[in-house]
Amino acid sequence: MIPSDVLDQLATQAIELPSWAFGNSGTRFKVFSTPGTPRTVEEKIADAAEVHRLTGLAPSVALHIPWDKVDDYAALRSHAESLGVRLGTINSNTFQDDVYKFGSLTHVDEAVRRKAIDHHLECIAIMDATGSQDLKIWLADGTNYPGQGDLRGRQDRLADSLAQIYDRLTGDQRLVLEYKFFEPAFYHTDVPDWGTAYAQTAALGERAVVCLDTGHHAPGTNIEFIVAQLLRLGKLGSFDFNSRFYADDDLIVGAADPFQLFRILYEVIRGGGFGPDSTVAFMLDQCHNVEDKVPGQIRSVLNVQEMTARALLVDTDALAKAQESGDVLGANGILMDAFYTDVRPGLATWRESRGLPADPMAAYAASGYQTRIESERVGGTQAGWGA
Alpha-carbon span 256 to 43, nearest angstrom: 29
Cβ nearer to ligand AOS, comparing 43 with 213: 213
Q: Which residue is nearest to ligand AOS (CB)?
A: 138
Is the sign of the CA dihedral 271, 275, 276, 282 positive or negative?
Answer: positive
| Minimum separation from the CB atom of position 382 to ligand AOS (A) | 12
Nearest to 66 by CA among 87, 37, 85, 94: 94
Contact 278, 285 (CB under 8 A): no
Pick 178 or 267: Cβ nearer ligand AOS: 178
Of all helices (H) and strands (E), which one includes residue 90? strand 86-91
Note if the bond before 38 is cis, omega within 30 degrees. Answer: no
Considering only residues 248 through 267, tell me which ones interact with Zn ion, judged by CB under 5 A: 248
Size of the site for ligand AOS (CB under 6 A): 10
Phi/psi zone of residue 253: left (φ > 0), alpha (ψ -120 to 50 degrees), beta? Answer: beta
> What percent helix, strand, coil does the chain show, rounded to 5?
45, 15, 40
Tell whether residue 100 is a contact of ligand AOS (CB under 6 A).
no
Site for ligand AOS in 190-219 (CB under 6 A): 213
Q: Which of 53, 107, 119, 180 binds ligand AOS (CB under 6 A)?
A: 180
Q: Which of residues 272-291 bind Zn ion (CB under 5 A)?
A: 285
- Please report how close the Cβ of residue 183 comes to Zn ion at its closest, in angstroms: 8
Query: Could you tell me how many residues of this chain bind Zn ion (CB under 5 A)?
Result: 4
x-marked contacts with ligand AOS along 118-157 as a string, rule CB under 6 A? --------------------x-------------------
Distance of closest approach, residue 91 Cβ to Zn ion, in angstroms: 8
How far is the C-alpha of 152 from the C-alpha of 188, rounded, in Å? 12
Of the pair 52, 64, the CB lying nearest ligand AOS is at 64
Q: Which residues pair with 91 in a beta bridge?
A: 64, 136
By the rule CB under 6 A, 369 interacts with ligand AOS: no
Euclidean distance between CA atoms 344 and 267, whole angstroms: 22
Instruction: For residue 68, state whether it binds ligand AOS (rule: CB under 6 A).
Output: no
Cis peptide before 184 (omega within 30 of 0): yes
d(CA 213, CA 229): 15
Beta carbon of residue 248, minimum distance to Zn ion (angstroms, whole number): 4
Q: Which CB atom, from 210 or from 334, has the smaller least distance to ligand AOS?
A: 210
**Residues within the interface to Zn ion (CB under 5 A):** 213, 240, 248, 285
**Which parts of this chain interact with ligand AOS (CB under 6 A)?**
20, 64, 91, 138, 178, 180, 213, 240, 248, 285
